[in-house]
């Protein structure tokens, strides 16, 4: 005979309309009986023991209503007998929430012998009675079928089939899974979350039913979700502004009026405003109480301080100890510009830079003007350089674009000193398609730079400069792991650069290439791979080639990712003045990566095959 074990639960979402059929533990005694007050050091009225498989034993010990009566000093035998009868139903209901609807439950009461006269206090003496609950759970109820129905505006969605398929594929209680109340609640919650994340912010649960047959131990599940109306973005209303304009927030958010709402679009708009640097906090909500075809977007912001000075100390295996200072002025007096000035000092490089940037226009393009003074020592002769840049830039979620003019001047303090200058027009394009930042496990990034210029001074010769980078994450056997971040992956990286000009032309060192170090070719020092001169010194070259393969294996403990990866890697790189002279220098090594709060922290020990030296490398963060 089919038994219907269900009670009705009224849910109260934002819309205020929802009904659900649930299976809930019987907690009549727990809810009806007042908790008695007892002395802190009193002897318990009885000892409770439960014999059942884990984790059922823990569930019963934690949730049985009988537990709250253990400290009652005036609990007589008749009242305890009544409580034990209620405990049968209480235990049966608790086991039902774990999927066991036909358990065998035996409850017995035993009296302890009269204690001998001792010096023990009452609280130290054993309980006078012991209640033993023995459970044989039997076979659990398993899901036989489930049906997920949709109503509301989603039925008119051209992508209805895709939405229905996504909800069915992500349903948490698949056929033959053990039915539990927690899993049942989680499956419905996740289905509703996915529906509202697509484009229906007022989506709600209309009806849910779990039809249980204890004899066959099968469960038939049914859920109906109502999407509510389809919403479109209306006006953007901003609160919390003091120094900046509403138009700035609207341009940063990039929410076209009349476009279809999705939760993802709103989150992306919020992230764009937060990443702009103008605000310390940003919170966006959609007003669903008005016209769905012109829903107001409310933006609550807290502006960042107009002036901020950040100082820091650090250390790296590339350049040793480092001191830095960064001054941000988010709005210059009388100018609608933001200024960012930086000073950085380490063992090999001293840098002073400043950047002026405008607010983004309606297409999210902004003007950027910058200058940088730098002195580099170390693997090459000391180089003093000046770089000036002016152009426009556009930053989006997956793409960056830059168009700019650049002036370069460098002075190499060799014997004799060598000076060179150039001016160039450049275009840079970057694409990022990673599944998660700053800890990607799959996807790729691609960056391309192309410039054409003219050397200055006595030699006025044209040149062309190009550079390309690619980074990819390729996971293996994801289906075999309970979580995708537990699957091993291959990280591959490649970089190439070229400056095409007459061989007699002297180019600024800032337009040429060096490689080696923590983030390029491990096993070698920072910028240690270049063109070896006749006197044995090192100089930057016109051609660059770098490649890397790294195997990352997440470290798993007790079925959970620990946040650490073990790594094996091989890097290779070369710099030359002619393509035929590119001869790779190889580094191989092992290491570990930690998913730290500030981004990936990678530690590696690499062997430089060409130098026959072992080097420690440390890199923090993920950028592309």
How many Å apart are CA 616 and CA 624, to the nearest integer? 23
**pLDDT surpassing 70 at residue 115:** no
Task: Identify whether residues 372 and 510 lie together within a single domain.
Answer: yes
201 and 63 in a common domain? no
Residue 50 within any structural domain of the chain: yes
CA atoms of 225 and 565, how far apart (whole Å): 41
For the chain, the straight-line distance linking the first and the last C-alpha, in angstroms and rounded, comes to 63
Task: Find the domain containing 62 and state its range.
Answer: 42-112+124-136
Are 382 and 522 in a shared domain? Answer: yes
Range with the lowest mean pLDDT among 39-43, 205-209, 599-603? 39-43
Tell me, what DSSP letter sits at residue 308?
A: E
pLDDT at 3 over 70: no
In a domain, 351, yes or no: no
Q: Which of 111-125, 127-141, 522-536 has the lowest mean pLDDT?
A: 111-125
Inside any domain, residue 341: no
pLDDT digits (tens, 9 = 90+) for 19-31: 333 443 333 333 3
The pLDDT value recorded for residue 163 is: 86
Q: Which residues of 268-307 are buried (b: 16+ CB within 10 A; e: fewer)?
A: bbbebbbebebbeebebebbbeeebeebbbebebebbebe
Which residues are registered as beta bridge partners of 312?
Answer: 324
- What CATH number does the domain containing 192 carry? 3.10.20.310
Q: Which of 168, 198, 226 is the last residue of a domain?
A: 226
Please, which residues have CB within 8 angstroms of residue 44's CB and are 6 or more apart in sequence?
70, 71, 127
Question: 334 in a domain, yes or no?
Answer: no
Q: Name the domain boundary from 196, 226, 256.
A: 226
Question: Rounded CA gap, 396 and 393, in Å?
Answer: 10
Do 490 and 549 touch, CB atoms closer than 8 A? yes
pLDDT confidence tier of residue 296, bands split at 50, 70 and 90: very high
Largest CA distance in the chain: 112
Co-location of 161 and 17 in the same domain: yes
- The CATH number of the domain where 476 resides is what? 2.40.160.50
* Token code pair at residue 414: 């060799």
Is there a domain that residue 329 lies in?
A: no
Total domains present in the chain: 4
Say yes or no: 184 and 131 in one domain: no
Which helix (H) or strand (E) covers residue 78, if one does?
Answer: helix 77-97
This prediction has a pTM of 0.69
| CB contact set of 334 (below 8 Å; sequence gap of 6+) | none
pLDDT digits (tens, 9 = 90+) for 555-607: 998 888 899 999 999 999 999 999 999 999 999 999 999 999 888 999 999 99
What are the tokens at 241? Answer: 């502004």
Residue 426 and residue 296 share a domain: no
Mark which of 202, 226, 250 sits at the end of a domain.
226
User: What pLDDT, on a 0 to 100 scale, did the predictor assign at position 76?
Assistant: 81
Q: What is the mean pLDDT of residues 439-453?
A: 96
Q: At residue 350, does pLDDT exceed 90?
A: yes
The answer to whether residue 289 sits within a structural domain is yes
Same domain, 517 and 393: yes
Same domain (yes/no): 167, 283: no
pLDDT at residue number 522 = 96
How high is the pLDDT of residue 119? 55
Give the tens place of pLDDT for each residue, 121-168: 555 556 678 888 998 888 888 999 989 999 999 898 888 888 888 888
- Distance, in Å, from the CA atom of 559 to the CA atom of 131, rounded to the nearest integer, reads 36
| Residue 568 domain flag | yes
Same domain, 64 and 155: no
Looking at the fold, whether 286 and 256 belong to one and the same domain comes out as: yes
**Is 83 in the same domain as 60?**
yes
User: Is residue 336 assigned to a domain?
Assistant: no
Q: Tokens for 514, please give them.
A: 């060096």
**In terms of domains, do 611 and 476 share one?**
yes
């Amino acid at each position: 005979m089919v038994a219907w074990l269900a009670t009705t639960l009224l849910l109260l979402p934002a819309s205020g309309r929802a009904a659900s059929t649930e299976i809930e533990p019987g907690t009549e005694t727990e809810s009806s009986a007042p908790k008695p007050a007892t002395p802190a050091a009193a002897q318990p009225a009885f000892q409770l023991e439960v014999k059942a498989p884990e984790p059922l034993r823990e569930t019963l010990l934690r949730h049985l209503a009988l537990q709250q009566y253990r400290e009652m000093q005036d609990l007589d035998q008749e009242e305890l007998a009544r409580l034990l009868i209620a405990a049968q139903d209480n235990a049966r209901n608790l086991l039902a929430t774990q999927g066991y609807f036909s358990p065998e439950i035996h409850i017995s009461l035993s009296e302890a012998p009269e204690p001998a006269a001792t010096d023990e206090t009452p609280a130290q003496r054993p309980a006078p009675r012991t209640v033993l609950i023995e459970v044989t759970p039997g076979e659990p109820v398993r899901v036989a079928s489930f049906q997920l129905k949709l109503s509301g505006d989603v039925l008119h969605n051209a992508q209805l089939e895709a939405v229905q398929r996504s909800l069915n594929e992500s349903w948490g209680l698949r056929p033959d899974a053990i039915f539990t109340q927690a899993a049942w609640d989680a499956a419905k919650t996740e289905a509703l979350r996915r529906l509202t994340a697509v484009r229906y912010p007022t989506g709600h649960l209309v009806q849910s039913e779990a039809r249980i047959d204890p004899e066959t131990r099968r469960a038939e599940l049914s859920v109906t979700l109502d999407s509510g109306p389809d919403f479109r973005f209306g006006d953007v209303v901003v609160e919390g502004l003091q120094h900046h304009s509403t138009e700035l927030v609207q341009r940063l958010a990039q929410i076209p009026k009349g476009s279809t709402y999705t939760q993802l679009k709103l989150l992306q708009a919020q992230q764009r405003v937060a990443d702009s640097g103008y605000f310390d906090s940003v919170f966006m909500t959609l007003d669903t109480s008005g016209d769905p075809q012109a829903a107001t977007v409310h933006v609550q912001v807290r502006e960042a301080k107009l002036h901020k000075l950040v100082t820091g100390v650090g250390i790296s295996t590339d350049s040793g100890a480092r001191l830095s200072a960064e001054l941000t002025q988010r709005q210059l007096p009388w100018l609608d510009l933001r200024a960012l000035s930086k000073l950085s000092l380490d063992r090999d490089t001293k840098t002073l830079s400043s950047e002026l940037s405008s607010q983004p226009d309606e297409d999210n393009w902004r003007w950027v003007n910058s200058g940088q003074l730098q002195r580099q020592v170390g693997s090459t002769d000391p180089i003093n350089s000046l770089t000036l840049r002016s152009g426009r830039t556009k930053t989006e979620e997956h793409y960056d674009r830059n168009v700019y003019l650049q002036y370069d001047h460098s002075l190499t303090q060799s014997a004799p000193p060598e000076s060179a200058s150039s001016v160039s027009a450049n275009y840079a394009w970057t694409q990022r398609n990673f599944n998660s930042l700053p800890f990607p496990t799959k996807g790729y990034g691609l960056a391309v730079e192309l410039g054409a210029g003219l050397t200055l001074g006595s030699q006025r010769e044209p040149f062309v400069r190009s550079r390309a980078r690619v980074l990819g994450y390729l996971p293996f056997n994801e289906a075999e792991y309970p979580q995708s971040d537990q699957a091993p992956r291959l990280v591959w990286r490649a970089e190439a650069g070229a400056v095409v000009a007459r061989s007699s032309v002297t180019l600024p060192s800032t337009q040429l290439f060096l490689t080696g170090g923590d983030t390029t070719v491990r096993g070698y020092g920072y910028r240690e791979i270049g063109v070896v001169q006749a006197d044995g010194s090192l100089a930057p070259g016109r051609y660059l080639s770098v490649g890397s393969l790294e195997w990352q294996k997440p470290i798993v403990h007790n079925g959970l990712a620990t946040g650490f990866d073990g790594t094996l890697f091989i890097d290779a790189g070369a710099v030359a003045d002619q393509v035929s002279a590119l001869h790779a220098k190889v580094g191989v090594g092992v290491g570990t990566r930690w998913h730290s709060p500030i981004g990936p922290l990678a530690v590696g020990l690499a062997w430089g095959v060409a130098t026959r030296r072992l080097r420690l490398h440390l890199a923090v963060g993920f950028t592309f």
